[in-house]
Amino acid sequence: MMQPRVVAMEEGKDPVSATKTSLSRALPLRILVICLLFMVLGVGLSIISMYSVRFSMIPQIAAKSPSTVLQPWFEDATSTWENFIRPPSNLMHNMNDTELLWRASFVPQIKEYPFKRVPKIAFMFLTKGPLPLTSLWDRFFKEHEVLYSIYVHALPSYTGGYPPSSVFYRRQIPSQKLAIDIIKDTTYYPKFKEFCRPACYVDEHYFPTMLTIQSPHLLANRTLTWTDWSRGGAHPATFGKADITESSFKRIFEVTKVILGVKANPVSVSED
């Protein structure tokens, strides 16, 4: 009876050891299946939680006021052309020079207007603080609002105290970079003051020289005003009451080019 058992053990066919071997092989497979199940369950819960958070935020976004989510191009959101071309009621802004030039590039490409356009005259008031004769100017501009645009350029420290009924209310514009460069200059002005001999003028010699050195890329390198040098002398003509005629304005609007050195450059004259 002992011989068959011994033979079986010698041949490696012990039932107990065979059972242990099969169990050891099945255990890693079972652990792998359990891990895969947990992984699938975790991914599923993650996807469900992501969609739950996403859809739960929709009512909160919808409940926000339109002014905090989307702001219109202009103050009145109604779709009329009057609102689209209407200038802002407050001219103060916090745009830098680059942003301001980009905003100014939004010009219509179609030259004709779909409405009757009334040309305006722009008035720029340069003042250090309160504007003198404000009441007189208010009476002068009263009831002619469609014929003019007003801009007030004061010192940056002056905020203006004009009442809402005044034509100067919210018409103050901020100082730009070139104006600040002139105010803070302590390098070139002392040189001009010491060495520049008459006839030496701030607007004709100091400003162009200093700004060409400091900020040449911001200069148009041409005058912004129409001048008449035909009368001779060291300065352009001073216009008086007799010069303000229809023919004088016609001469200004008929200018098509300006001479810079030896080169003729086209120029655009606006009726605004």
- Give the SS3 label for residue 20: helix
pLDDT of 264 strictly over 70: no
Residues 206-222: pLDDT tens digits? Answer: 888 998 898 888 777 76
DSSP 8-state assignment for residue 172: B
Residues 120-173: pLDDT tens digits? Answer: 888 999 888 888 889 999 999 988 888 899 999 888 778 778 899 999 998 888
- Give the SS3 label for residue 187: coil
Closest CA to 214 of 181, 176, 175: 181
CB atoms within 10 A of CB 206: 19
Contact 181, 209 (CB under 8 A): no
Residues 239-252: pLDDT tens digits? Answer: 888 888 888 888 87
Tokens representing 139?
A: 């009476």
Instruction: Give 258's contacts (C-beta < 8 A, 6+ positions apart).
Output: 222, 264, 265, 267
Q: Where are the domains of the chain?
A: 2-63, 224-272
CB atoms within 10 A of CB 172: 21
Helices of type H across the chain: 2-10, 15-63, 66-69, 81-85, 97-104, 134-141, 177-184, 188-195, 207-214, 246-253
Residue 259: which H helix or E strand, with range? strand 257-260
Of the chain, the end-to-end C-alpha distance in Å amounts to: 124
Q: Please give the Cα distance from 257 to 232 (Å, whole number).
A: 21
pLDDT of 19 strictly over 80: no
Q: Residue 99 is which amino acid?
A: E
pTM recorded for the entire structure? 0.37
Rounded mean pLDDT, 54-79: 49
Q: Please give the Cα distance from 178 to 214 (Å, whole number).
A: 9
